[in-house]
Structure formats: structure tokens, C-alpha cells
Amino acid sequence: MPRFDEGRPEMTLEEFRLLRDHVYAHCGILIHEDMKFVMERRLWPRLEALGLTDFGAYHRYLRYDAQRIAELEAAVESLTTHETYFFREPAQLKAFCEELLPLLEKKNARTRRLRLWSAGCSSGEEAYTVAMLLKDSGRFDDWDVEVHGTDLSRRVLAVARRAEYGPSALRATPPDLMERFFVPAGVNRVRVRDDVRAWVSFGHHNLADEATSQLVPRTDVVFCRNVMIYFDQAMRRRVLGVIRDRLCPGGYLLLGHAENLLSLGADFELVHLKGDLVYRRPELPAGEGR
């Protein structure tokens, strides 16, 4: 068996648990015991960068160092997968365009205002994809539209704001949309066009932090895809509470294709679209205000 870990320290079970608990306390991300190997591999580069020799020293660094907050963010960033690309999960996006957008156009016709939230937006591909789909629909051209992307990682937010991407991020982008919504930005790189960027904003947000969620605008649709997988049941409930709070009554929640709200209580209605299953914050019964 080839070795990929020459000279690298092994993480003891105790170190794993101390680090896991530390991460959980910070952001609610739960790392299961069978992920020790993954955690070890993802944190090795952090130890290398800091010149530390073992994971016990890394735990102490996270507890005591003046840079501990920044480092904890770097650790969380390493532990979570930022795998994302434009036009991911096309079946869901098709249902969003063909079934939800007409409903939203009708529902918000009076205010001509539309707010969408990409919760856990990573490097911005999802938020820009949503904005492109809105543009492409032609329904909201003179509306007040904002797609707000948030993430725990400040580094990926910086990438999102730059809006420059390489071939991997574009591997599922249809050629006609590629032509319409991107401009060249160097070898093998493109940049999202300014008119799309004008509809998209980004901010730092820890989904586990109920207090700062007030900073997220009230929204008509939340995309929270492949984010809940990092949380345990208790934290999922908490995050769902935050999302529900930020959704307008009758607003929609779109999860990743492998995610559902089973056994998480039923504060959302399941809506069967022709092409997808989505969740909706129930409309308030007549007479109750927002």
C-alpha cells in the first residue's frame, strides 16, 4: 500500500474528540467518529502552515493563541467541503425556474421585490447561478432583486466577491449561458458579468448563531443545499429555526437532493413540484400578521 502521509503526525482519538468538540462549540458542525481519518488529513496542512508537530499542540493553539479565532475559521474551512459549481443539481434548478419563479412573480407582483438567500454559499457559484436564472427568466428585469450569499468562511467569501472562476466551477454550465453571463479573465478563467454581480451580495454568517441571523434580510427563497449534512439533529433544528425566521410566510426552502426534513419536526410544508420536492414556510392563517 503506498504511503501518502510520510512523516505526518497521527491524530489520537482523544485529540480528535477535543478538536471535534471545539469545532462543534464554534459553529455546530458535527464530525462523526468515522471521520477521524478525514479530519486528520484536512488539518495536516494547518499544522504544517503553523509549524506544529502534533494535534495536541494544534488544540492548544486553537485554545490559546492570539490568532485562535482566525485559525478556527481556517480549520472549519478545511474540514468542510467547498465543492460547488455553477448550475449544480440541474433538475432542481429547472423546477425552480419553471414552477417556483412564476409563483413568486405572482406573489410579489405588488411589491416587485424579490429576495433570495444562498445559505452556505461557499465561493459564490450558487448565488450567481440563481441570479443568472432570474435574469434568464426575463420575469424580474425591472424588479428590486437581491440574492444574498452567506458563509462561515471569510476566505471563500473573498473568492465569491472576486467572481472569477476556473474550468472546474464551470463544468456544468450550458454553453449559451456561459456566453451570456461570463467574460474572459485570463488564462482558463472567466468573470461573472457585472449586471449579474449587481444582483448578488455576500456576507459572513454562522448559521449556528441565531443573534446575527437578524442581519440576513427577510427572503422569499432559501437555498440551503448540502449544508445540513454537517450538523447533528439538534443543530439542524436550530438552523431550520433561523431559516424559518428569515423566510417570508409562504417562502420556499430548497435543500440538496440527498437532504430532507424528516424527523426534524414539521415547521415546513412539503411541496410536491413536478420536478422536485421543496419545503415551504406555511402561510399565516388569515388575520395573523407577519
Residues that bind another protein (CB under 8 A): 1-2, 4, 13-14, 17-18, 34-35, 37-38, 41, 45, 48-51, 60, 63-66, 78, 81-83, 85, 103, 155, 166-168, 171, 187-189, 258, 266, 269-271, 282-283, 285
Q: Which residue lies nearer to another protein by CB, 17 or 139?
A: 17
CB of 211 to another protein, least distance (A): 26
Which residues are CB-neighbours of 116 under 8 A, at least 6 positions away? 130, 134, 145, 146, 147, 148, 219, 220, 221, 222, 223
For residues 213 and 288, give the distance between their C-alpha atoms in angstroms, rounded to a whole number.
Answer: 23
Least distance between another protein and beta carbon 212 (Å): 26
Q: How far is the CB of 199 from another protein (least distance, A)?
A: 25
Closest contact distance (angstroms) between CB of 147 and another protein is: 22
183 sits in which H/E element: strand 182-184
Residue whose grid cell is 424580474:
140
Q: Which is nearer to another protein, 113 or 155 (CB)?
A: 155
Q: How far is the CB of 115 from another protein (least distance, A)?
A: 20
Which of residues 70 and 198 has its CB atom nearest to another protein in the complex? 70
- 3-state SS of 67-118? CHHHHHHHHHHHHCCCCCCCCCCHHHHHHHHHHHHHHHHHHCCCCCEEEEEE
Question: Taking a C-beta distance cutoff of 8 angstroms, is the pair 257, 92 a contact?
Answer: yes
Closest to another protein by CB, 12 or 214: 12
Closer to another protein at the Cβ: 211 or 286?
A: 286
- For the bound state, the minimum distance from the C-beta of residue 130 to another protein, rounded and expressed in Å, comes to 20
Q: Which residues contact 126 (CB under 8 A, 6 or more apart)?
A: 84, 88, 118, 149, 223, 225
Residue with smaller CB distance to another protein, 13 or 211: 13
Strands 190-192 and 182-184: antiparallel
